[in-house]
Amino acid sequence: MQTQVEAQVQTSAPLLHVKGLRQWFELRKFVFARAGYVKAVDGVSFDLPRGEALALVGESGSGKTTLARTVLGLYKPTDGDVVFEGMHLKDLNFRQMRQYRSDLGYIQQDPYGALPPFLSVRSILAEPMRINGIRNKAEQDRRIKEVLEEVRLIPHTDFVHKFPHMLSGGQQQRIVIARAMVLQPKLVAADEPVSMLDASVRVEILRLLRKIQEMHNLAVIYITHDLSTVRYFSERIFIMYAAKTVEKAETESLLEHHFHPYTQALLAAIPDPDPENAKKFRDIPPGEPPSLVNPPPGCRFHPRCPECIKGLCDVEEPPEFMPIEGHSVECWLYKEGGP
Amino acid sequence: MPAKLLQVKDLYLHFKTQKGTVQAVDGVSVDMDRDDALAVIGESGCGKTSFIRAILRLLPRNVETYKGQVILEDTDIMKLSEDRFRTHVRWVRISMVAQAAMNALNPVLRVGDQVSEPLVVHQGLNKKEALAQAAEVFRMVGVAPDFLSRYAFELSGGMRQRAILAMALITKPDLVVLDEPTSALDMLTQANIMNVLKGIKRDLHQSFIFITHDVATTSELADRGVVMYAGHIVEITSAEQFFLNPFHPYSQKLMASVPTLKERKELEFIPGQPPSLLNPPTGCRFADRCHRRFEDCDQEPPMFALEDGRQVKCWLYK
């Protein structure tokens, strides 16, 4: 039930506020000598309101997972702020941190690896509750029944005593979702929740996630490399390239305009099932994403960019421009008054 | 009329396991011409990989039944001795890119030595000649020839996949079999590899059989689609027909579950899961999940050949 007061809070402050977030991992040579940093996330800012699904799209190594894991409190950020419901993540003590984590859920990529093989479904779902102080067995059973019904594993009595290997891939992923939901979080990070599943099951799981999200007014960070599913399951898209969010927009706006040359390349690379595809070649930018230890100066996409402006793109990092209200892009081509 | 390049007739491949017999490939027939690209489409566990492994005779030890005919032009290669198959067919006339093979390159050998090895083994070339040819194939797949002297760890995923592709092409085989050639790669790299494959098909008229679970990628290369479900082939049809108007209810549902980027459509999914291949249902194997099931479906349907060249294993098309 949503009260008037809650509805007001919802409109005034975002659930999650991230500003200038950097997550650098130190590289060491011979144990002590510092050999540089892997800059996995390098200056990312955004707000996430309650009930919104945000998709992080990018290639492997672009920093999507690191960004989500930093928000989840699994890493200590190198620099920048993560503010959740007005609390600064870096100010939290151990107990508050535990409370914070119970407000978040994490859906891992690979259901086969994310579930401990020697625990029954009941133990898997009871563990987060046990850690967070729900020790009453009747209460645990009530919650377990509830989440299993939410993820459509019905009747739940058929599943509670099973072990992960007795379940199909889709069912295992449902258990992972149920585990993320069992503490009734406000924010869930789903890291490639369907990439290991078959096409026919994918849509089913994504729909289920969408339904749970709407039911609980849940904020979702949906990490994926598959732009085609994003259209159906998120409100906003961030395109990540080499540790930066190069384009941020509402889903339909991004699919319509796609300003950044990298976004354009991505959209051109993804086929829709169409027999015409076999007759034409796709235009793919040469090269590969840069190393995150020594990223190129200026815009990180400039060595591969077909529209690179010599003397600007390879020298100065582009700030965020906003060619359309609510649609921002880090690219010099969209500077007001021309580049 | 010239002979077909490959004819597979009534191929069976069953495995023995502790729980019983797994009927991975169960009476499968298909044929293909030269300059044809055949896409084998299906979900995991439907027998795609077992099917191509049966063609190449790359079998594990627990095979229980392995029968049928695999005719390459005019020889039944199932009848050849293992020795003769190895020296005359595998990697001479049919080569393969196995799933995730790019991660299986030998880390302590130079890439060039590995890629040129089939020439040394099968054609008795010396190392220098073999490397010269490898350089040529490298250029074809879009890798600079100086990568020949590098090690696998110095190459990115896309480069390694190209090297593996070069290894399959170097003996100029009649047929190249690709098992999920792009599934572990990033989006742009995938599109790049598909470009390379298209180029090879256009310039060399290379014949391909390739496996994928990603229907959208299939449309990049396929001339014909072969849909597998639970060890059976349920539909064989031209690419145009398959993507625009599939006939088998399973193919229809599968197509409806593919999200499209350019336009929004209503996505569907197939409730339930594929049957176990230990004890597959008698009758049509898709019947339990099928939205158009009727009485006849309790009997196993034969493959119906339709007028437009399409083959469908479904009673609806009797």
- Total beta-carbon pairs less than 8 A apart between chain A and chain B: 119
Q: Nearest CA of chain B to the CA of A39: how many Å?
A: 19
The minimum CA-CA distance between B156 and chain A, rounded to whole Å, is 9
Residues of B in contact with A272 (CB under 8 A): 216, 219, 260-263
B142-189 confidence digits (pLDDT tens)? 999 999 999 999 998 889 999 999 999 999 999 999 999 988 788 888
Average pLDDT along chain A: 90
Read off the pLDDT band of A10 (50, 70, 90).
very low
- Model confidence pLDDT, tens digit, residues A48-93: 999 999 999 998 889 999 999 999 999 999 999 999 999 999 899 9
pLDDT band for A3, please (50, 70, 90 cuts): very low
Q: How confident is the model at residue A242 (pLDDT cuts 50, 70, 90)?
A: very high
- pLDDT tier for residue A154 given thresholds of 50, 70 and 90: confident
Residues of chain A with Cβ-Cβ distance to B217 below 8 Å are: 271
**Residue A9: predicted pLDDT:** 47
Is residue A177 one of the residues assigned to a domain?
no
Q: Is residue A72 part of a domain?
A: yes
The count of domains in chain A is 1
Q: Rounded to an integer, what distance in angstroms lies between the CA atom of residue A192 and that of residue A65? A: 9
Taking the CA of residue A167 and the nearest CA in chain B, the distance in Å comes to 11
Residue A226 located in a structural domain? yes
Contact across the interface for A228 and B261, Cβ inside 8 Å: yes
Instruction: Pick the more confident residue, A32 or A160.
Output: A160
B194 and A228 in contact by Cβ < 8 A? Answer: no
Query: Is residue A332 a part of any domain in this protein?
Result: no
**Is pLDDT of A218 > 50?**
yes
Q: Does the residue A34 lie in any domain?
A: yes
pLDDT score for A5 = 47
Question: According to the model, what pLDDT value does residue A27 have?
Answer: 87
pLDDT averaged over every residue in chain B? 92
Q: At A12, is the pLDDT very low, low, confident or very high (cuts 50, 70, 90)?
A: low
d(CA A221, CA A239) in angstroms, rounded, equals 13
CATH number at residue A255: 3.40.50.300
What's the half-sphere exposure (Cβ side, CA atoms, 13 Å) at A125?
33
The model's confidence at residue A29, banded by pLDDT at 50, 70 and 90, is: confident
Choose the weakest-confidence range: A263-267, B91-95, B222-226, B269-273.
B269-273
Contact A278 B213 (CB under 8 A): no
Q: Which of A169, A229, A265 sits opposite B259 (nearest CB)?
A: A229
Residue B294, pLDDT > 70, answer yes
Do residue A275 and residue B240 have CB atoms under 8 angstroms apart? yes
Domain-located, residue A33? yes
* pLDDT tens-digit readout, B262-273: 888 888 889 888
Residue A2 pLDDT: 45
Question: A62, A171, A172, A198: which to substitute to probe chain B, counting the most B Cβ within 10 Å?
Answer: A198
In contact, A263 and A247? CB cutoff 8 Å: yes
Residue A124 lies in a domain: no
Q: Which chain B residues contact residue A169 at CB under 8 A?
A: 44
> Which of A198, A232, A288 shows the shortest C-beta gap to B267?
A232
Which residues from A are below 8 Å from B276, CB to CB? none
CB contact under 8 A, A272 and B199: no
The pLDDT, as a whole number, for residue A200 is: 80
Domain presence at residue A197: yes
Name the residue range of residue A213's domain.
Answer: 13-103+185-286
Per residue in A175-215, pLDDT tens?
A: 999 999 999 999 999 999 988 888 888 899 999 999 999 99
Residues of chain A with pLDDT > 90, as a percent, come to: 68
Residues A204, B191: C-beta atoms closer than 8 Å:
no
